Amino acid sequence: MDVRQIEQELESARRTFHDLVAQASPESLRRRSDGTRWTNRQLLYHMVFGYLIVRTLVPLVRTLGRLGWSRRFAAALDACRGPFHLINYLGSCLGGQILPTGAVVILMDRTISALQRRLRTASQGTLALTMHVPTRWDPYFTPTMSVLDVYHYGTQHFDHHRRQLTL
């Protein structure tokens, strides 16, 4: 993957998200998703939450990639996977219920825009920085990921959950 491809997939995810929300009826938003315990509304929030995690991970990968301290950090995070999964689940339940879908769309737009701006200004050296990540947190995490890989992860997460929607 290169910067241009990542920018395009971010923009495609934004447009797809707009379409999904625009086509969703109130009834379909309350329906259970396929393969999760979330409703479609909660899962839509969780899809945006994945990009919020990318916004947090990018500076972390840059910093730990420069320092070289990521192996122990990833191991510690893997050891805490139980609380992470609970917070991940409950946070999406709560966020999906509290925030109106219009607010979630705005959150998606702002998050994607911020990621695109940061991506465009990053140097090739920065994008190549790597860190070890907690592979037990998500099936799309690989043992070592570059900054560019983390940008791509957001869309892998988005696409995975898009297939679980039952709108």
Tally the domains of the chain: 1
Residue 31 lies in a domain: no
Q: Is the dihedral of CA 163, 15, 39, 24 positive or negative?
A: negative
Query: What CATH number has the domain bearing residue 56?
Result: 1.20.120
Find tokens 């920018």 and name the residue: 7
In a domain? residue 30 = no
* Chain segment 42-56, per-residue pLDDT in tens: 999 999 999 999 999
Cα separation values, 90 from 36, 56, 101, 158, 160, Å? 13, 19, 18, 18, 19
Residues 6+ apart with CB under 8 A from 137: 77, 78, 81, 84, 85
pLDDT in tens, 124-157: 999 999 999 999 999 999 999 999 999 999 999 9
Tokens 């998703």 found at: 33
Residue 94 lies in a domain: yes
Measured CA to CA, the distance from residue 129 to residue 137 in angstroms comes to: 21
Residue 157 lies in a domain: yes
User: In what helix (H) or strand (E) does residue 16 lie, and over which residues does it extend?
Assistant: helix 3-23
**32 domain residue, yes or no:** no
- 133 domain-assigned: yes
**Tokens representing residue 92 in the block:** 């999406």
pTM: 0.94
Q: Domain limits at 93?
A: 3-25+39-162
Is position 72 within any domain? yes
Residue 65 has pLDDT above 90, yes or no: no
97 in a structural domain: yes
SS (H, E, C) 117-148: HHHHHCCHHHHHCEEECCCCCCCCCCCEEEHH
How confident is the model at residue 27, as a pLDDT?
98
